[in-house]
Amino acid sequence: MFVYDKGIRLNGSSLWLDASRKVESCVVSHGHMDHAKKHRFILATDKTVHILKQRIGKTRAQVLPFREPFDFDGYRVTLYPAGHILGSAQILIEANGRRLLYSRDFNLQNSSTAEPIDIPESDILIMECTFGRPRYSFPNREEIAQELLLFIEQALNCGHVPVIIGYALGKSQEAMKLIGDAGYRMAVHSSVAKLSRIYETYGIHFGNWEGLDKEDFTGKVLIVTPQAAKNKFLQRFERKRTLFLSGWAVDRGFKYRVKTDAALPLSDHADFKGLIDYAAKVNASKIYTTHGFEEFALHLRSSGFDAQPLKQQKQIELF
């Protein structure tokens, strides 16, 4: 059995899956801060462990390569690439001939800065459903890249400083890769720069970039976080054009809510169709949805799946 209580705890074991508070032992799917807790013992991919050390400091960790099983308290744990950010993983748990897959955040569209997703089959699936409404349909990556580069080129041609806003881990690195490969020079916020150097140690390079500590930004693209975009730094630029990268940019009013000139739906999550396709590929007999719209379970049921939202404190028989 497992218990859902701000994370998944395997019954009869000290092992949690992506606990949102400090626990004894935890499998951590990836390095975003809502997953980056200083647990006493962590199981994660080498890249996630590297990122966690940068974000939360040293912690006792067991590196678990993709597709290599690890036995813990009678359970077998295997990680599979999730396509979300560098090192991100789906978590497969096996015991007594049964399989539980915990998707966590995943993306079916290929990214140049994350390992392509590899979806295992499972008896039970616990899946995130962040964009679990039909209106969340994302263009393909090539279209978004073209629009991003067009925005930059038009801003530079008009004498504006193009400012690209994205979260420090994942979104910003994907933007840097697209922009750097197109030959543009970049000036990058410090919180993005620290994490981008980790990407470079794993062979992902971003072209011509430097920190924001320089004085001359002529002809450069600025990469900043949402928090940095709100401070006084950007006020020094009278002529600038701002663009926010987020899957929520599918909503027409999003750019007005975040107070930017433009927004593009570059997401490291699956869109609605991707969520349905993912469920079909896992081929589970039972699905629990979490971290998203509760009504997504209704969409799954209408597509023939046995699905329901996962509720806090629910104890479920699996093994």
- Quick one: which of 117, 89, 103 has its CA closest to 310? 103
**pLDDT value of residue 57:** 86
Higher-pLDDT residue of 318, 52: 52
Same domain, 253 and 273: no
Same structural domain, 65 and 130: yes
Q: Looking at residues 95-106, what average pLDDT do you find?
A: 96
Q: Is the pLDDT of residue 108 over 90?
A: yes
Residue 217 has pLDDT above 90, yes or no: no
Q: What is the dihedral of CA 72, 42, 169, 184, to 10 degrees?
A: -80
| pLDDT reported for residue 43 | 96
Per-residue confidence (pLDDT) for residue 86, from 0 to 100: 98
Do 215 and 105 reside in the same domain of the chain? Answer: no
Question: Are both 51 and 14 inside the same structural domain?
Answer: yes
DSSP string, 159-228: TPEEEEE--TTTHHHHHHHHHHHTT-EEEE-HHHHHHHHHHHHTT---SSEEETT-S--TTEEEEE-HHH
**What integer pLDDT is reported at residue 316 of this predicted model?**
59
User: Phi and psi of 10, rounded to 5°?
Assistant: -80, 125
Q: What is the pLDDT of residue 237?
A: 82
Same domain, 83 and 161: no
Question: What's the pLDDT band for 311 if we cut at 50, 70, 90?
Answer: confident
Domain boundary among 245, 264, 283: 264
Residue 183 and residue 251 share a domain: yes
Q: Are residues 119 and 154 in the same domain?
A: no
The confidence score (pLDDT) of residue 2 equals 83
User: Based on the domain organization, do 275 and 130 belong to the same domain?
Assistant: yes
pLDDT of residue 45: 98
pLDDT at 27 over 70: yes
Together in a domain, 125 and 225:
no
Which residue range(s) make up the domain with 292?
Answer: 2-135+269-316
- What Rg do the C-alpha atoms of the chain give, in angstroms? 20
Edge-to-edge strands of the sheet including 98-102? 70-72, 75-81, 89-95, 98-102, 124-129, 286-292, 307-309
Residues 87-97: what's their mean pLDDT?
Answer: 97
Helix (H, G, I), strand (E, B) or coil at 283: coil
Our CA angle for 33, 47, 205, nearest 5°, is 100
Q: Is the Cα torsion angle 140, 144, 149, 153 positive or negative in sign?
A: positive
Is residue 152 domain-shared with residue 237, that is, in the same domain?
A: yes
If one counts every other C-beta atom within 10 angstroms of the C-beta of residue 17, the result is 22
Supply the CATH number for residue 294's domain: 3.60.15.10
Q: Is pLDDT at 165 greater than 60 in this prediction?
A: yes
Q: What is the pTM of this model?
A: 0.94
Q: What is the pLDDT of residue 314?
A: 52
Residue 273 DSSP symbol: H
Query: Do both 297 and 251 map to the same domain?
Result: no
Q: What is the mean pLDDT of residues 54-79?
A: 94
